[in-house]
Amino acid sequence: MNLIDSVTLSVIQSGLQQVCNEMDLAHCRAAFSPIISESQDRSNGIYHRDTGKLISQGEFGLPIFVGTMQFSTQEVIKRAKSVNPGDVYIVNDPYMGGTHLMDVRFVKPFFYQGKLFSWLSNTGHWPDIGGMVPGGFSAHAVEIEQEGLRLPPVKLFKKGVLDEEILAIIMSNIRIAEQRIGDIKSQAAALAIGEKRLTELLDRYGLETIEASIVELEARSRQQMQACINQIPDGDYEGESFLDSDGVVNEPLRIHVHIKKSDGHLTFDFSQSSPPCMGPMNSVLATTKSSVYLAIKHIFPEVPINAGIFDPLEVLDPEGTFLYAKYPRPVSGCAAEVSQRIAEAVFDALVEAIPTLLFAAPAGTTANLAIGGYDPERGSSYVMYAISGGGYGGFDGGDGLTNGCSTIGISKSAPVEVLEQLYPVVFEEYSIHQNSGGAGEFRGGMGIHFRVRLTRGTARASMVMDHGKFGPPGALGGADGGKTKIIIYLNGEPYEPAHISKDQGIAMTAGDVIEVFTPGGGGFGDPKKRDRAAVADDIVKGYYSLEQAQQKFAYSPAT
């Protein structure tokens, strides 16, 4: 194999990522659903032709999909009996390298000069996939069939032609089917862009140079990750986090991780976590592993993303826990909520060992809210799926970000103006969740507070959120962040879910309101050490009242 000079290697690395970035952008621009086009809940990547290992992923893609798309591509490779140019597989089965059913993957073989070179894959969050409730987030599901349509790897496109019979099966089992064809075509178009751009890259540098570069880039990422891990002293570390409940049994679920660091390698053992649960907060193995990967990537963001970063990270199969869901366990909350608690447990385990590289816990919930119903003005049904931000944790040297995206990705809240144009709702308030940032020498960022009113027709609302019973933990003496709170006003009367952060099928009529407070981040360090001028500035900005600042920081205007 010819040696690749460093300049060429860097250019090819950027070129591979640019292919994925352009797929991401095409995916967003063509999608019908605001959760993809506005919130960017999607990802695109390139995978090895034989092993399915990650070669490159777009920098705009969700981190939680880094691992899961590799696993799902491997499942497609196992089952692909014959592949041709133009074939596209569709799969959303959580037990086959997936997340929840709403995350639908397309996997396409990429041929160069008549031979299979790699696989292109993407994931898009569809706003509905059938199931008990609009949006798919069934807080009370006790089996996977209640959550929606489950698809094993099947060819949706055969030699570039859409299979109308398979499409008909899909469309007959989901809500607002006429809109999903737009999302389907956007995912297919993104893969077509990937084919075009990857062909151009191969034409420019040659097959041998590109393949040699891929091998070298993987080796370098592996070495760089090992070097980063060696900043952690050898030893054993333990951390934990808790989910409010599984949505069915109103008791907390515990995530416990034991991490062993040795010689540039980390082993993660979750065997002491809670057993499988009845409700939808089970996590499939692919999501559990990917959650660990993204947690470590948060700590060491400088390592380039490819399969090499996974090699020094060993996640033992957590058999007998809710982090290794098997059929027919429901899993709708695994990617959006459980994954963030897994990352939180990893952060908790390592923060004392590497305090300058870590931070207090972020909000750690995607705040999934789905409202589906019939709009009499437009004469059509709809499903609105919305996500919300929260506070980031404080860190050594700075305060947490206010209203940041979730731990698992770069997805952002869709603009309220877009949601109000598309759906019969109006946002009466969208503001900072005052007093939600955990106190610390460096405080946590604030969550948000919004009120959304149904303006016409009838609808059903469902939500799967978390951190309603336990605020995001502070670190090294910092206080926990504020908690999730949900109030639904039905005919003017307030109703709060028994599970605090989870409920489903709430019948709404015009005028009813859903009010949500998302968590703030945990505080970092002793709150009494916070700079007095910084506390005064927090009060001026409305983050805390004077009374709250006095209580949290022992603050006095006279000092």
Q: Using the structure block, give the residue that is written with the tokens 């089917």.
A: 177
Mean pLDDT of 168-183: 94
pLDDT at 530 over 50: yes
Q: What is the pLDDT of residue 2?
A: 58
Q: What is the pLDDT of residue 546?
A: 96
pLDDT digits (tens, 9 = 90+) for 454-481: 999 999 999 999 999 999 999 999 999 9
What confidence category does residue 412 fall into, taking pLDDT thresholds of 50, 70 and 90? confident
pLDDT at 274 over 70: yes
Q: What is the pLDDT of residue 426?
A: 98
pLDDT digits (tens, 9 = 90+) for 315-371: 999 999 999 999 999 999 999 999 999 999 999 999 999 999 999 999 999 999 999
Q: What is the pLDDT of residue 559?
A: 53
SS3 labels along 175-199: CCHHHHHHHHHHHHHHHHHHHHHHH
Q: Is 251:224 a contact under the CB 8 Å cutoff?
A: no
What average pLDDT does the chain have?
96
| Cβ neighbours for 400, distance < 8 A, ≥ 6 positions apart | 359, 360, 362, 391, 392, 393, 394, 437, 442, 443, 444, 445, 520, 521, 522, 524
Q: What is the pLDDT of residue 434?
A: 97
DSSP symbols for 355-367: TTT-BS-------
DSSP symbols for 47-67: EETTT--EEEE-TTS-THHHH
Q: What is the pLDDT of residue 129?
A: 96
Q: Is the dihedral of CA 42, 47, 51, 54 positive or negative?
A: negative
Q: What is the pLDDT of residue 11?
A: 97
pLDDT digits (tens, 9 = 90+) for 415-428: 999 999 999 999 99
pLDDT at 78 over 70: yes
Task: Flag whether the pTM goes above 0.85.
Answer: yes
Q: What is the pLDDT of residue 1?
A: 45
Q: What is the pLDDT of residue 278?
A: 98
Angle of CA points 140, 372, 375, to nearest 5°: 155
Mean pLDDT of 390-416: 92
Q: Which strand ranges, in their side-by-side order, compose the sheet holding 458-464?
A: 380-386, 368-375, 458-464, 502-509
DSSP symbols for 7-60: HHHHHHHHHHHHHHHHHHHHHHHH-SSHHHHTT--EEEEEEETTT--EEEE-TT
Which of 426, 344, 331 has its CA nearest to residue 390?
Answer: 344
pLDDT digits (tens, 9 = 90+) for 18-47: 999 999 999 999 999 999 999 999 999 999
Which of 330, 332, 346 has its CA nearest to residue 289?
Answer: 346
Q: What is the pLDDT of residue 67?
A: 85
Mean pLDDT of 192-204: 98
Mean pLDDT of 279-305: 96
Mean pLDDT of 236-260: 98
